[in-house]
Amino acid sequence: MTLAAVAMAATMNAQGYIGGTMGIGSLKVGDADNETAYKFLPEIGYNINSDWAVGVAFGWTKGGLQVLKNDIDVAGTRTTQVNPYVRYTFVHSKYFNVFSDLGVGYAHINGAGDAYGVGITPGLALNLNEKVSFVTKFAYVGWQHAKTNGVKTDFFGVDIDATNVQFGLYYNF
């Protein structure tokens, strides 16, 4: 019974977070009409201690937005994806934290195929207050494989460009 009480107390004092990224834009491919592109990727996580956390981002995209790391610039492309990760925070301060996510991702590209991979994404959390953080993730180091419309694509390496920058808000509880 004591063990159960300790486990409950540890869970109640646990630091969780919710947040994620989203975006909307207009996409034009060739002579086709403009199309609305969007990304909705909520995220939930659990801080094991001050350095380590586990979490998962999941959601939907449509249009020329990223699928894992691979850019799928096909009008009308819709994806469903899930990206679990382990986060290590190696710089802590009152105003910001610097972290790196080691993630495994999977995306189903509706009507076209699938993509999956494993990689590291560095990030920075600006602590606006005790409960709210502005988070940016940038770059990608890792491997990804996609098979879309029967064509296989493999990526291994480092990718640092504007298409890899993500911004989001986290609420810590």
Q: What is the pLDDT of residues 14-56, one digit of tens each?
A: 599 999 988 787 767 677 777 787 888 899 999 999 999 999 9
Domain of 120 in residue numbering reads as 16-172
19 and 168 Cβ atoms separated by less than 8 Å: yes
Residue 9 lies in a domain: no
Residue 2 lies in a domain: no
User: Residue 25 carries which side chain, given as an amino acid letter?
Assistant: G
Residue 163 — very low, low, confident or very high, per pLDDT cuts 50/70/90? low
Residue 122 lies in a domain: yes
For residues 133 and 19, give the distance between their C-alpha atoms in angstroms, rounded to a whole number.
9
CATH number of residue 49's parent domain: 2.40.160.20
Mean pLDDT for 135-145 is: 89
For residues 106 and 141, give the distance between their C-alpha atoms in angstroms, rounded to a whole number.
16
Residue 65 — very low, low, confident or very high, per pLDDT cuts 50/70/90? very low
What does 126-169 look like in DSSP terms, one character per residue? Answer: EESSSSEEEEEE--EEEEEEEEETTEEEEEEEEE-SGGG-EEEE
Domains held by the chain: number:
1
Q: How far apart are the first and last CA of the chain?
A: 27
Length of the chain: 173
Residue 135 lies in a domain: yes
